[in-house]
Amino acid sequence: MSQTAITVTYKPVLADTLHAARVADGELWKTSSRVVATVLVITAGLMWHWGSTGWAVGFLAFGLAEWFNLLPVAVAVAWVEFHRNPKYRQQYTITMGPDGLLFSTATVRAEIAWSFYRHFWETDRAFVLSYGSGLPSVIPKSAFKSDEELALVRALLGSQVGPATRSGSVAGRRTMR
């Protein structure tokens, strides 16, 4: 890492992990979730027609919950992963510089090139980096010591990774809550 690198240290917390899952899932759910919801509602209609009202109500409830993203699967997966994976119980040290990201814990040390990440989201509480399917990487803003560090990381991620738009493609900077 070069001399313009920024280092942060933090211990992952469940709230940040769930937040990152919600952010990444929120970018994808509008298309795939709507298809699933439609299938569930149609199934509910068929069940109602065939006289299985109990099943119909259940399918309708799940269809509506899916349509409005009230029960995102990604959040449930993140919750399980956080509680099962020992990496979430270790302190993280992340050094970010022009060449990439150096991730280290008591048991892992990995240097990751910026090209590994497809895009990132900035929210009011974290930087969320996406590298494909699965749980995204989350760097909580609370780990930074100053607004200057946040500004440097924001510029670094913007130039090296590229922020995501609502469709997931790379474009101008966007923040989410």
Contacts of the segment 137-144: beta carbons below 8 A, 24+ positions apart: 137/20, 138/12, 138/16, 138/17, 138/19, 138/20, 139/8, 139/94, 140/10, 140/13, 140/16, 142/10, 143/8, 143/9, 143/10, 143/94, 144/6, 144/8
- pLDDT, residue 168, reads 41
- pTM beyond 0.75: the answer is no
Domain residue extents for the chain: 6-176
- pLDDT, residue 63, reads 83
